[in-house]
Structure 1
Amino acid sequence: MRKSLITLAVLGAASGAANAQSGVTLYGVIDGSIEYVNRVAASATTPTQGGKRFGMPSVGGLSASRWGLRGVEDLGAGNQVLFVLESGFQWDSGQLQSAPLFNRQSFIGMQSKGIGKLTFGRQYTSFFEGMANFAPMRFAATYEPGIWWMGLNYREDNMVKYTGQFGPLQAVAHWSFGTGVAVQNASILLANGGAGEVPGHFSDNTAYGASLMYLNGSGFGASIAADVWRPAATTGQPGTMTKLGAAALYNTGPFKFTLGYRYNKAEFANGNTLLRDDYWWAGINYQATPALGLSLAYYYADVKGARVASTPTSAETNPPNMQQVSFIADYNFSKRTDVYLSAGYARNGGLSFDSAATAYAFRYPTMAGQKSMVGVTVGIRQIF
Structure 2
Amino acid sequence: MKKSLLALAALGAFAGAAQAQSSVTLYGVADMNIEYVSHMSSSGTSGPSGNVTRMSSGGLSGSRWGLRGVEDLGSGMKALFVLESGFSLDTGSSQQGSRLFGRQAYVGLESAQFGRITLGRQYTTLFDLLANFSPSGYATQYEPVVAQLGVNFRSDNTVKYTGVFGPVTAIAHWSFGAGAPGGGEVPGQFRRDTAYGAGFGYAAGPFGATIAYDQFNPTESAAAGTSATYKKAAVAGSYAFGPAKVMAGYRWGQAKSSAGASLLRDDYYWIGANYQVTAPLGLTLQYNYDNVKSMNGVNVPNPWQVSFIADYSLSKRTDVYLTTAYAKNAGLNLDTAAIGFANGYPLGAGKTNMFGAGVGIRHKF
TM-score normalised per structure 1: 0.89
Q: Is the aligned partner of 1:43 residue 2:43?
A: yes
Structure 2 CA distance, aligned partners of 1:13 and 1:229? 52
1:330 is matched with which residue?
Answer: 311
Unpaired stretches in structure 1, ≥5 consecutive residues:
1-11, 182-192, 308-315
Residue 296 of structure 1, aligned match among 285, 297, 304: 285
Structure 2 CA distance, aligned partners of 1:116 and 1:168? 14
In structure 2, what residue type is equivalent to 1:227? D
2:133 is matched with which residue?
Answer: 134
Deviations 1:37-56 (A, max 9, x none): 110001334x2413101011
1:6 is matched with which residue?
Answer: none
Deviations 1:20-42 (A, max 9, x none): 14110000101000000110001
Deviations 1:50-87 (A, max 9, x none): 31010112x32101101100001101111100000001
CA shift for structure 1 position 284: 1.1
Structure 2 CA distance, aligned partners of 1:206 and 1:113? 30
Structure 1 SS opposite 2:179: coil
CA shift for structure 1 position 355: 2.0
Query: Does structure 2 conserve the Cα–Cα contact (< 8 Å) formed by 1:44 and 1:360?
Result: no
153-162 vs 356-365, greater mean Cα deviation: 356-365
- Where does 1:1-384 land on structure 2 (aligned, <5 Å)? 16=15, 18-45=18-45, 47-57=46-56, 59-97=57-95, 98-181=97-180, 193=181, 195-216=183-204, 218-235=205-222, 236-307=225-296, 316-384=297-365
Query: Does structure 2 conserve the Cα–Cα contact (< 8 Å) formed by 1:44 and 1:366?
Result: no
Aligned pairs, number: 351
2:7 is matched with which residue?
Answer: none
CA shift for structure 1 position 369: 1.9
Structure 2 CA distance, aligned partners of 1:50 and 1:14? 68
Query: Does structure 2 conserve the Cα–Cα contact (< 8 Å) formed by 1:157 and 1:196?
Result: no
CA shift for structure 1 position 19: 4.1
Structure 2 CA distance, aligned partners of 1:348 and 1:289? 36
RMSD across aligned positions (CA): 1.6
Query: Does structure 1 conserve the Cα–Cα contact (< 8 Å) formed by 2:158 and 2:175?
Result: yes
Sort the Cα spacing of 1:118 and 1:133 in 2 relative to 1 into closer, same or farther, 3 A: same
194-203 vs 371-380, greater mean Cα deviation: 194-203
2:6 is matched with which residue?
Answer: none
Deviations 1:273-320 (A, max 9, x none): 22111000000110000000000011100001112xxxxxxxx21110
1:184 is matched with which residue?
Answer: none
CA shift for structure 1 position 141: 0.4
Structure 2 CA distance, aligned partners of 1:13 and 1:70? 26
Structure 1 CA distance, aligned partners of 2:99 and 2:220? 21
Structure 2 CA distance, aligned partners of 1:100 and 1:284? 35
In structure 1, what residue type is equivalent to 2:146? I
Structure 2 CA distance, aligned partners of 1:326 and 1:373? 12
Structure 2 CA distance, aligned partners of 1:13 and 1:35? 55
Structure 2 CA distance, aligned partners of 1:338 and 1:291? 9
Structure 1 SS opposite 2:220: coil
Query: Does structure 2 conserve the Cα–Cα contact (< 8 Å) formed by 1:31 and 1:64?
Result: yes
Structure 2 SS opposite 1:270: coil
Query: Does structure 1 conserve the Cα–Cα contact (< 8 Å) formed by 2:175 and 2:195?
Result: yes
Query: Does structure 2 conserve the Cα–Cα contact (< 8 Å) formed by 1:256 and 1:285?
Result: yes
Structure 2 SS opposite 1:233: strand
CA shift for structure 1 position 14: 11
1:8 is matched with which residue?
Answer: none
Structure 2 SS opposite 1:18: helix
TM-score normalised per structure 2: 0.93
CA shift for structure 1 position 211: 1.4
In structure 1, what residue type is equivalent to 2:60? L
In structure 2, what residue type is equivalent to 1:341? L
CA shift for structure 1 position 170: 0.4
Greater share of strand residues, 1 or 2? Answer: 2
Q: Percent identity?
A: 52
Structure 2 CA distance, aligned partners of 1:104 and 1:215? 26
Structure 2 CA distance, aligned partners of 1:276 and 1:219? 34
Sort the Cα spacing of 1:21 and 1:289 in 2 relative to 1 into closer, same or farther, 3 A: farther
